[in-house]
């Protein structure tokens, strides 16, 4: 292995979930057809670096700031859906289930990682919440997600805005036998009229 191949492998290995073995495999795949593959990847990275911005309103990523969702006149200003991460915005958009605005916190509160309220975009959310009707807390159903949701809800309480959260229950296609006790308990206690 040479210096430039090693360096490429090291760069690829910085990606999340890519170990040394995968990094070697990915680098080799690029190098095998390097004349076709590498220039188009460089070009895509270059364009992304030049054009992608963080939206100063919602915290999502887009080619414009404010982003297309924040400036879309067809979307409802009355509700803000709060998510941890940009990936969650993309997931909600793919579902086409929500037509309001988003707010990306940028993570969850975490004592272990030393991430307190100041590391999240909570202040901007408080400002935005004052001019809307409903804030939907769409954080992960994990301990970290729910701790963060609880904290955000507390901070929002004095603004008087309606605060909701996503329903918990059996996911589509979920088999009861494979569900954990917590999910079954939550689904049972939140049962609805048939």
Which residues of the shown chain bind its own copies in the complex (CB under 8 A)?
Answer: 1-5, 7-8, 10-12, 14-18, 22, 24-32, 34-35, 37-42, 44-52, 61-63, 68, 85-87, 90, 93
Complex with its own copies: residue 42 or 184, whichever CB lies closer: 42
Q: Are 120 and 105 in contact (CB under 8 A)?
A: yes
Complex with its own copies: residue 34 or 133, whichever CB lies closer: 34
Complex with its own copies: residue 107 or 169, whichever CB lies closer: 107
Complex with its own copies: residue 91 or 157, whichever CB lies closer: 91
- Report helix, strand or coil for 59: coil
Shortest CB 32 distance to its own copies, Å: 8
Q: DSSP characters for 126-191?
A: HHHHTT-SEEEE---SSHHHHHHHHHHHHHHGGGT-EEEE---SPPTT--GGGS-HHHHHHHHHT-
Shortest CB 129 distance to its own copies, Å: 25
Q: Using alpha carbons only, what angle is made at residue 88 by residues 85 and 91, rounded to the nearest 5 degrees?
A: 155
The whole-angstrom separation of Cα 75 and Cα 52 is 22
Shortest CB 134 distance to its own copies, Å: 25
Complex with its own copies: residue 67 or 129, whichever CB lies closer: 67
Shortest CB 40 distance to its own copies, Å: 6
Q: Are 107 and 120 in contact (CB under 8 A)?
A: yes
Assigned token pair, 126: 């408080």
Shortest CB 2 distance to its own copies, Å: 5
The whole-angstrom separation of Cα 131 and Cα 33 is 54
Tell me 65's DSSP state.
S
């Amino acid at each position: 292995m040479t210096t430039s191949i090693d360096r490429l492998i090291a760069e690829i290995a910085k990606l999340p979930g890519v170990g040394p073995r995968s990094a070697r495999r990915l680098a080799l795949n690029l190098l095998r057809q390097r004349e076709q593959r590498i220039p188009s990847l460089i070009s895509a990275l270059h364009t992304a670096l030049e054009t992608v911005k963080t939206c100063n309103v919602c915290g999502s990523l887009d080619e414009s700031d404010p982003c297309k969702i924040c400036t879309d006149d067809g979307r409802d200003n009355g509700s803000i859906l709060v998510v941890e991460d940009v990936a969650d915005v993309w997931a909600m958009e793919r579902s086409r289930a929500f037509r309001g605005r988003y707010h990306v916190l940028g993570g969850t509160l975490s004592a272990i990682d030393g991430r307190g309220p100041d590391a999240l975009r909570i202040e901007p959310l408080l400002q935005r919440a004052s001019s809307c009707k409903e804030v939907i807390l769409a954080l992960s159903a994990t301990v970290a997600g729910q701790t963060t949701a609880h904290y955000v809800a507390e901070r929002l309480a004095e603004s008087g805005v309606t605060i909701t959260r996503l329903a918990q229950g059996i996911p589509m296609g979920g088999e009861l036998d494979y569900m954990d006790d917590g999910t079954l308990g939550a689904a049972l206690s939140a049962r609805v009229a048939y």
